[in-house]
Amino acid sequence: MQVIRTNADLANVDDPNLLALLNLRIKEAQEYVDHFSELSFYVVIQSGDPMSDAVAVLGFSLLENRFDGISFGTPSFTPSWDVIEEHERWFELVFVLGDDGSGVGVFISKAAGTNEELVEMCRIFTTEGVKQ
C-alpha cells in the first residue's frame, strides 16, 4: 500500500495511469490551497495489500460504513464514501473528512490479487448505477 502525502511520494508511483490520475487530483486540490497536503492525501491499494494496512492509515474499514459500522454484504449496507469513480485500471473513492472539505482519496487497483471483496464492492456500486 502506498500513501501519498507529498510530491516526493509520487516518485514511488510506477503505474503511469495512476500517476496521471493523482496529478489531476493534486492539480484540482491546488485550486483551493497552496499544497494539496493541506486539503488531502491519497491511499493506493494494490495486489497483495492487506486490508489491515488501509484501516491503520484511514482509521476505518473500506468494507464498512464508517458511521453505522454495517459491513458490505449485509442487506442494509450503504457505503460511506462521498464519490466513487471507475477508471480503466482503478477505482477511486473520495471521503470528505472535515467541514473544510479536507479528505482522502483512495485508489483501488483492479489487478488480480487485490482484495476481492473490496474490488467486488466497488464494481457493484459503479456498474449498477448506484453511484454516490
d(CA 38, CA 53): 23
The pLDDT value given to residue 128 = 58
Half-sphere exposure of 50 (CA within 13 A, CB side): 3
Beta strands in the chain (DSSP E): 2-4, 40-45, 83-86, 90-96, 103-109
Mean pLDDT of the chain: 92
pTM assigned to the model: 0.92
Q: How deeply is 87 buried, as exposed, middle or buried, from its count of CB atoms within 10 A (0-12, 13-18, 19+)?
A: middle
Question: Per-residue confidence at 17, pLDDT binned at 50, 70, 90?
Answer: very high
**pLDDT by residue (tens digit) across 80-111?**
999 999 999 999 999 999 888 889 999 999 99
In the structure grid, which three cell numbers stand for residue 87, read together?
477508471
The pLDDT value given to residue 32 = 82
Delimit the domains of the chain by residue range: 2-127
